[in-house]
Amino acid sequence: MRNRASFENEAVPHLEALLRTAVRMSGDRARAEDAVQETYLRAWRSFRTYQPETNCRAWLFRILVNVIKKTVGKRRHDPLAEAEEVETSTKVIPLFPNADGGERRDIQGALDQLTPEFRNVLWLVIVEGFAYKEAAQMLDIPIGTVMSRLYRARRELRRFLTTSVSQEKERASGHGV
């Protein structure tokens, strides 16, 4: 039987990442907080079955994705459509810390144009750093689909950002609308 201290050491450090992802996937801060709370409740209830040698972060994210699928259902909002930062109880976490304000808006706008399927895969693999296999398990899709969606998401993101930069240059030169 695992104890509370083990749970706190293994699971609690992932709270901010879970909340950040829940906001993106649910589209609503209150629903995201509820989903994270439900995730931790389910994790605590089944923590005795958790194997310490495995990836707790991936295990929690899989629970979170399942909670969001079940609770949000048809009301699901586009992930990543929220603001560029997620405020947690302790601090504000910039999603694109190395970009200036204008670049962040460009990146956020480009992400907003991706389909939810592309954004979910991009978010889990690129932002949260999960392996393709882990993302596939979380989203309950084949690994080949993860790879394909990630490729397409990157291609679309590149296209949107290139178009945005071109339009900005036109406006700056006085030739744009």
Answer yes or no: are the C-beta atoms of 55 and 162 closer than 8 Å.
Answer: no
Q: How far apart are CA 105 and CA 85, in angstroms?
A: 11
Specify the pTM. 0.68
**CATH number, domain 4-173, options 1.20.140.160, 3.40.50.1460, 3.40.50.720, 1.10.10.10:** 1.20.140.160
Q: Could you report the per-residue pLDDT of 10-44, keeping only the tens digit for each?
A: 999 999 999 999 988 887 889 999 999 999 999 99
Q: Could you report the per-residue pLDDT of 67-115, keeping only the tens digit for each?
A: 998 875 544 444 444 434 444 333 334 455 455 555 656 777 778 788 8
- Give burial (CB, 10 Å; 0-12/13-18/19+) of 79: buried
Q: Which of 85-111 are b and which e, b meaning 16 or more Cβ less than 10 Å from the residue's Cβ?
A: bbeeeeeeeebbeeeeeeebebbbebb
